[in-house]
């Protein structure tokens, strides 16, 4: 049973990344000598229960994606017709294109370089704020060594 679940998960991910599944069958009208048989779309009347489940995976994937979004995000993807379109739109909205990612990285690096403990800020508050900056950098694939982070923290603390 577990194998079946993993296969369905793989099919679900395929639908999200590559689009709705096409239900195919071997084209018996064309004989292929020594090669792969030609595949053609299977008529709905010939679909098995398994074929119907695979064909419906796009609807299941869309439903899962819809149920994870708040009203604001849903309004941005509601015109998408496939799970793949939804996924691509969400990726664009949340991650941005390469230029957007580069801009986010530049801003995060500037936050790191300019980090200073503010007047009246406790060490715990500064630590939380600085940790958020480091986490943001990690999410943008910019990693500092522990030594670099420790030196930055030391420079960011007030002289007192």
Give the span between the Cα atoms of 102 and 155, in whole angstroms.
26
Take residue 33 and report the two structure tokens written for it: 């000598």
Does 102 share its domain with 136? Answer: yes
In three-state form (DSSP H/G/I as H, E/B as E, the rest C), the secondary structure along the chain is CHHHHHHHHHHHHHHHHHCCCCCEEECCCCCCCCCCCCEEECCHHHCCHHHHHHHHHHHHHHHHHHHCCCHHHHHHHCCCCCHHHHHHHHHHHHHCCHHHHHHHHHHHHHHHHHCCCCCCCCHHHHHHHHHHHHHHHHHCCCCCCHHHHHHHHHHHCCCC
Q: How many structural domains compose the chain?
A: 2
Does 73 share its domain with 21? Answer: yes
Does 30 share its domain with 83? Answer: yes
Mean pLDDT value across the chain = 88
Does 103 share its domain with 144? Answer: yes
Across the strands, what pairs with 40?
A: 25
Does 110 share its domain with 81? Answer: no
pLDDT (0 to 100) of residue 151: 94
> How long is the chain?
160
Does 105 share its domain with 90? Answer: no
| pLDDT band of 91, cuts 50, 70, 90 | confident
Does 35 share its domain with 113? Answer: no
Does 102 share its domain with 86? Answer: no
101, pLDDT greater than 50: yes
What is the tens place of the pLDDT at every residue in 110-146?
Answer: 999 999 999 999 999 999 999 999 999 998 889 999 9
Does 113 share its domain with 133? Answer: yes
2, pLDDT greater than 60: no
77, pLDDT greater than 90: yes
What is the pTM assigned to this prediction?
Answer: 0.58
Lowest mean pLDDT among 28-37, 40-49, 93-102, 143-152: 28-37
pLDDT (0 to 100) of residue 6: 43
Which of 95, 110, 133 delimits the end of a domain? 95
């Amino acid at each position: 049973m577990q194998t079946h679940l993993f296969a369905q998960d793989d099919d679900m991910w395929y639908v999200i990344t590559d689009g709705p599944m096409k239900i195919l069958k071997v084209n018996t009208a064309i004989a292929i000598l020594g090669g792969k048989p030609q595949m053609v779309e299977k008529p709905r009347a010939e679909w098995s229960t398994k074929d119907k489940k695979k064909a419906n995976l796009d609807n299941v994937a869309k439903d899962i994606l819809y149920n994870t979004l708040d009203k604001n995000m849903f309004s941005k993807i509601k015109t998408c017709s496939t799970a793949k379109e939804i996924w691509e739109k969400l990726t664009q909205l949340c991650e941005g294109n390469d230029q957007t990612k580069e801009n986010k990285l530049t801003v995060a690096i500037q936050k790191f370089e300019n980090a200073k403990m503010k007047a009246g800020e406790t060490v715990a508050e500064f630590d939380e704020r600085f940790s958020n900056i480091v986490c943001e950098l990690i999410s943008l694939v910019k990693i500092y060594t522990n030594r670099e982070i420790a030196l930055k923290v030391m420079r960011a603390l007030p002289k007192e």
